[in-house]
Amino acid sequence: MALTIYAVVAPGGAIVNLVEWDGVTPYSVAPNSLVSAVGQPNAQIGGTYIGGVFTAPVTPPAPQGIIFLNSPSTGAVLALPNAPQPQAKLYAILEPAAALAALTLDLGNNPQDGDTLYIFCTKNVTTLTVTPAPGAVINNAPTSLTALVLVTIIYSAQYSAWFQL
Q: Write down the pLDDT at residue 52.
A: 95
- Are 117 and 139 members of one domain? yes
The answer on pLDDT for 60 being more than 70 is no
- Are 46 and 78 members of one domain? no
- What single DSSP character describes residue 123? S
- Please name the residues in contact with 29: beta carbons below 8 A apart, sequence gap of 6 or more: 8, 17, 19
Cα R_g (the chain), whole angstroms = 25
The answer on pLDDT for 81 being more than 80 is no
Q: How many whole angstroms separate alpha carbon 2 and alpha carbon 21?
A: 8
- Are 38 and 95 members of one domain? no
- Are 20 and 78 members of one domain? no
The domain of 71 spans 66-164
Q: Write down the pLDDT at residue 63.
A: 47
- Are 75 and 24 members of one domain? no
In a domain, 158, yes or no: yes
In a domain, 61, yes or no: no
pTM over 0.85: no
Q: 117: closest CA among 127, 126, 130, 103?
A: 130
